[in-house]
Amino acid sequence: MRLGSGTFAACCVVIEVLGIAVFLRGFFPVPVRSSAGAEHRTEPPAPEPSAGSSSNWTKLPPPLFSKVVIVLIDALRDDFLFGSKGVKFMPYTTYLVEKGASHSFVAEAKPPTVTMPRIKALTTGSLPGFVDVVRNLNSPTLLEDNVIRQAKAAGKRMIFYGDETWVKLFPKHFVEYDGTTSFFVSDYTEVDNNVTRHLDKVLKREDWDMLILHYLGLDHIGHISGPSSPLIGHKLSEMDNILMKIHTSLLSQEREGLSPSLLVLCGDHGMSDTGSHGASSTGEVNTPLILISSAFERKPGDIRHPKRVQQTDLAATLAIGLSVPIPKDSVGSLIVPVIEGRPMRDQMRFLHLNTVQLSKLLQENVPSYEKDPGFEQFKVSEKLHGNWIKLYLEESHSEVLFNLGTKVLRQYLDALKTLSLALSTQVAQYDVYSMMVGTAVVLEVLTLLLLSIPQALRRQAKVDIPLSSPAFSLLFYLMFLVLSAIHIIVCTSAESSCYFCGLLWPVAGGVMVLMSALLCAIVSVLTKMFISKSLPSKNPAHPNSRWSELDLLIVFGTVGHVLSLGASSFVEEEHQTWYFLVNTLCLALSQELYRNCFLEDDGEPQHHFHMEPGIVDATPGLPYRTGCDVWEQDTVRERLSLSDMLRGREKWMALASPWLILACCRLLRSLNQTGVQWAHRPDFGHWLTSSDHKAELSILAALSLLVIFLLVQGGCSPVSRAALLLGLLGVYCYRVAIGNVLFPWQQDNRDIAKGIIEARFVYVFVLGILFTGTKDLLKSQVIATDFKIKTVGLWEIHSGLVLLAALLFRPHNLPVLAFSLLIQTVLTKFIWKPLRHDAAEITVMHYWFGQAFFYFQGNSNNIATVDISAGFVGLDTYVEIPAMFLTAFGTYAGPVLWASHLVHFLSSVSSDSALSHACFCYALICSIPVSTYIILVTSLRYHLFIWSVFSPKLLYEGMHLLITAAICVFFTAMDQASLTNS
Amino acid sequence: MKDTDIKKLLYAHLLCIFSIILSVLIPPLFLENFSILETHLTWLCICSGVVTAVNLVLYLVVKPNTSSKRSSLSHKVTRVLKCCIYFLMSCFIFHVIFVLYGAPLIELVLETFLFAVILSTFTTVPCLCLLGPRLKAWLRVFSRNGVTSIWENSLQITTISSLVGAWLGAFPIPLDWERPWQVWPISCTLGATFGYVAGLLISPLWIYWNRKQLSYKNN
């Protein structure tokens, strides 16, 4: 099958988008979520089941504990307490564990073992997924149902001291709090003293119901010197003393006649043997959990080994203990020893509440919940429970009651265990199988793209895809069989749920057919290459294509950028990489310009050949290059030297142009500081947006709009020129209406409107310009001779996009748009046209500038910098699809505008194959980083920063690929149009 | 091209490297609290001074530029003055380029300028010594197939490698290792120095290995 290389590339990118989608679905498993999560209406608690005569116990049982103190020690590993260190450094706690009225457990934390998700797990009882973070768009508040919220709703008064994360997660929940930052890792004493200093005062008072203490010191010591450091011992004995202080104070209060209180000692995550955390080694996931209360009975000599529980179980237990509803999304099960001292009817009631909550969650998340063994057990035990209540109310024989009750309890426990397991495995780990499938598809496509470079960049720009080759049909069927076998084996043996297994059979089969077809294509292309190599070389011109400095820079820049994505700092500061590369590109261009200018100047005609070594090689017979010249027709015959093309003043302007571009880039760089390390530096953007500088901002915005108009209007038809003018005026009016900028005649302090009319006014013009552009393109299709119309049409589409971007950008970002147009004009006029780069080089330069402008706009690889306000421009309320489209366009305006400029530029300097070459290069240069990045992320999935740094970047990459696919399809459409023309 | 030429080149380069090593080792004997990282600016001054001196001495002793004819004293003086102006210009141009690359405009001006000075020392001074203040010759040397002697060839290699070294030296700056040498402009100056030294070492070897293929138009 022969395809144009543009079409081929577009198909490849579309398939890659599919692969990435499967990968993302596997990487970010959709968490188990109750559908009633958003609004927090309190449902009445499930009534006690009963058979026959009704039980009227519908309220929640009374609280078990009057007060709860939670002591959370960051990075407390289980062997710090239960091992030899505990005996040595924590004598009081060890005494409580071994002989006191307490229950001790080893609570298992799920990766990522990082503080914030672990706090979420402890309080909501759910296993937070990264998707939550995206859903809340980095709003730090915990929106899911949780124990703290429920306790506040029940009127409990809570006090918190410790890690600031809690204050961010639960704003306005605590009547009193003092957050300490974990910013200075080297500080491990002050950070804890700041917590302990409040303790004496608080313990004397009686006006609180819940006290939460989060100690960070141990974690800091771990990060500094690891788990075997002597500092750990000191810190542990300090913690032991604190625990003793709290416990004795609680006991003395109980003696004064209060009901029993509960003291919880736990860790949020453990510590690996090097002292870090985040991954899933035994040391990191095993944390101690000790519940201390005088309500727990213990016979002397009763030695218990700590049992294993899940960290998520604490939320349900606390909810029962405080007599508040169990959080809706909790997947944990009640820790049974806590309620062992209660009467049997109460115990059943508690277990029933927990089971009902879990089975509701199961119903909402699993379609075939009725067949789930846990649900069946739940039904059985509920029935037994009802029978038991009936007997109980009829006051039957106590021994019968007891025996039956024990059976019901056991039944409930089994149901709980099964339900909890079924729910937690849904989100427990990465869905590796889906990730592998996605990666395989993406890598196959990338290999195919790389292998077809020589074919695709030839003059005809055609690629042979031997899909139907019969020699490989056997391989194809074999591959398909093997893949299906793997699929069946994986899906039947997998313990956790897997997205790819959950797909319908035809869909999964389709993906497997695709995979095997791609593999066959790769194999056949490879064989073809070997065959053509082993033949006596038909094209002797092949090897002597030397790369220019620019090509080297492009290759090394791309490779360097891709490799830099493996380091978290480079991902955070990716804008620096792009600025650096773009600057270097400008310098390389200026060097090329200068050499061409000065060395040709004094050269006589016969000198010409020697002095132009970059373009004409030692063998002047075949100037074969990696790409093909855009200006194929006029290269040899009438090669105009640069000095001929640019005369006098123009030449000097050309020489100054790279420096102008560099200066523009420098200005834009200080407009928006992004990234992490230098984000706090002052920048022009903040200065402009502060309310004192409204006048300056207005002038700047008006100037930028003027520059935009002047630069864009040249290529348009008169109608769209007028539309553009009105549209840009409308943009300014819109900004005035929403109060960003001012009219000169206007006083300050006007009431702020939503500016809906103005914005819609602009939208009309955007659509009008786009429509005119499309019309022109269609016209050029019909009237094959008129080449000019097509260029105008493409420019009109470009200017429509510019107008839309001008509307969506915040006013202080309008200079970005103006400068981008200015740089495009300068590059076109003085560099690309005179120097005659080939299509591949021009494409890569456009891509680099597009990426740099993505960051000039103020974007970064953090979700928080996405400007969501762009989605509300001209909309009354939040409408999902337009808002998403507008936000995406506003965010990726830089790359999109540069790509649309590329299309216009390449079709204006006529060459048949330039567009398809450009499309191919664009697809390739975009898919190399994505494919490498998903491999990097897969191997770094237990990295400490996987949630904060790498996952947001992954989402950005996915989105970027989607936009690239759209761009490539547009390219191909234009290419097809020009093909039918010729 | 003879092997003696290459040998001469090698010795000259070894002398340059030796001078850089001395600029690290000698000052602690005279100055207290001297270390490359802490009193970085002092070291920059010393190093650029030493390298310039060695280059000048080498130029006067070896005289690789055979084509330069006898000329009058006034001509020589203008030549020297021109060289000085060129050197200063190159310092300023490098400074501007660093600012364009993102170096702070107002703060740390002295640091940035000294970095420009040392980079000029590694690149412009050898060029001035060898080629004189003629921009055309510079452009010729730094374009492909433009070199006419092993001296120019080695000049090309050392200059490019020190520029590339400075360029690569900027990469560690965004990393969050919090090392003292990640501070602007230490990593870049060190990168430039290592690049220069590497260029000095590589160029004689490269020329030696490729001596069969190399043919200069003027030879």
Two tokens, residue A833: 């046209």
Any domain includes B217 = no
| Tokens 């398939």, residue located | A15
Q: How many residues does chain B have?
A: 219
Rounded (10°) angle between helices A814-826 and A788-808:
160
| Structural domain range at position B181 | 3-64+71-209
The residues, any chain, with a CB within 8 Å of residue B124's CB and separated by 6 or more, are B86, B87, B90
Note whether A464 and A17 are within 8 A (CB): no
Angle between helical axes of A893-908 and A839-856 (0-180°, round to 10): 150
Whether B99 maps to a domain, the answer reads yes
Q: Do A669 and B102 touch (CB under 8 A)?
A: yes
Helices (H), A602-619: 608-611
Number of domains forming the structure of chain B: 1
Torsion of CA A347, A348, A353, A358, to 10 degrees: 110
Question: Does residue B215 lie in a domain region?
Answer: no
Rounded Cα distance between B47 and B38, Å, is 15
**A contacts of B136 (beta carbons < 8 Å):** 598-599, 602
Q: From B217, which residue of chain A is nearest by alpha-carbon distance?
A: A610
B93 touches chain A (CB under 8 A): no
> What is the per-residue pLDDT for A632?
40
Q: Which residue of B has its CA nearest to A594?
A: B139
- Would you tell me how many other CB atoms lie within 10 Å of the CB of residue A942? 15
CA B181 distance to own-chain centroid: 21
Q: Can you list the domains of chain A with their CATH numbers?
A: 2-27+434-531 (no CATH), 67-288+302-316 (3.40.720.10), 549-599+647-910 (no CATH)
3-state DSSP call for residue A857? Answer: coil
- Is residue B202, in this structure, part of any structural domain at all? yes
Distances in Å between the alpha carbon of B191 and those of A565, B84, B174, B177?
22, 25, 15, 17
Residue A874: C-alpha distances to residues A421, A723, A807 (Å) = 48, 18, 10
Q: For residues A836 and A826, what is the distance between their CA atoms, to the nearest angstrom?
A: 15
Q: Which residues of A touch B145 (CB under 8 A)?
A: 610, 613
DSSP helix/strand/coil, A138: coil
Q: CA dihedral in degrees (A963, A966, A968, A974; nearest 10)? A: -140
Give every CB contact of residue A70 below 8 A, 6+ residues apart in sequence. A210, A211, A212, A213, A264, A266
Residue A257 has a pLDDT of 72
Which of B100, B140, B174 is the closest to A666 by Cβ? B100
DSSP run (H or E) holding A289: strand A286-292
Nearest CA in chain A to B164: A584
Rounded to whole angstroms, the Cα distance separating B94 from B117 reads 8
Q: Give the span between the Cα atoms of A350 and A638, in whole angstroms.
A: 91
Q: Are A968 and A11 in contact (CB under 8 A)?
A: no
Q: How many Cβ atoms sit within 10 Å of the Cβ of residue A539?
A: 9
Between residues A20 and B107, the one the model is more confident about = A20
Contacts with B99 (C-beta within 8 Å, 6 or more apart), sequence order: A666, B105, B112
Return d(Cα A272, Cα A282) in angstroms, integer.
8
Residue B219 lies in a domain: no
Q: Helix/strand/coil (H, E, C) string of B110-144?
A: HHHHHHHHHHHHHHHHHHHHHHCCCHHHHHHHCCC
Q: Is B144 on the interface with A (CB under 8 A)?
A: yes
pLDDT at residue A272, as a whole number = 82
> Does residue B114 fall inside a structural domain?
yes
Whether A663 sits inside 8 A of B100 (CB atoms) is: yes
Going by C-alpha positions, the residue among A639, A641, A743, A649 that lies closest to residue A697 is A743
- Cβ of residue B106 closer than 8 Å to a chain A Cβ: no
Distance CA A212, CA A307 (A): 24
Instruction: Kindly report, residue by residue over B173-190, the tens digit of the pLDDT.
Output: 888 877 888 888 899 999
Judged by CB atoms within 8 Å, which residues 162-201 of B form the interface with A? 167, 170, 173-176
**End-to-end CA separation in angstroms for chain B:** 7
Name beta bridge partners: A177: A160
Query: What residues of A are in contact with residue B102 (Cβ under 8 Å)?
Result: 576, 579-580, 583, 666, 669
> CB distance B144–A567 less than 8 Å?
no
CA A980 – CA A973 distance, rounded (Å): 11
Q: What phi and psi, each to the nearest 5 degrees, are found at residue A403?
A: -65, -45
Averages of pLDDT over runs of 10 residues in chain A (982 residues) are 84 94 84 56 67 66 88 90 88 88 89 80 81 55 84 90 86 88 69 88 89 90 82 90 92 82 91 77 88 82 82 91 88 88 87 89 79 86 87 79 87 89 70 90 94 83 70 81 91 72 85 89 86 62 62 93 92 93 93 79 37 34 37 40 62 89 93 82 84 87 95 88 93 88 73 81 94 88 73 91 94 94 92 85 95 93 79 79 89 95 86 84 94 93 79 91 94 75 54
For residue A467, how many C-alpha atoms fall within 13 Å in the half-sphere facing its CB? 13
Query: So what's the pLDDT on residue A923?
Result: 94
For residues A661 and A831, the answer to whether their CB atoms sit within 8 Å is no
Comparing CA positions, the residue from A796, A729, A717 lying closest to residue A761 is: A729
Residues of chain A with Cβ-Cβ distance to B170 below 8 Å are: 580
**What one-character DSSP code corresponds to residue B213?**
T
Q: A654: distance to nearest CA of chain B, Å?
A: 17
Tokens of B94: 């490098």
Domain for residue B9, yes or no?
yes
Q: Which of A587, A610, A666 sits opposite B99 (nearest CB)?
A: A666
What percent of chain B has pLDDT above 90?
A: 42
* Domain assignment present for B216: no
CB distance B86 to B52 below 8 Å: no
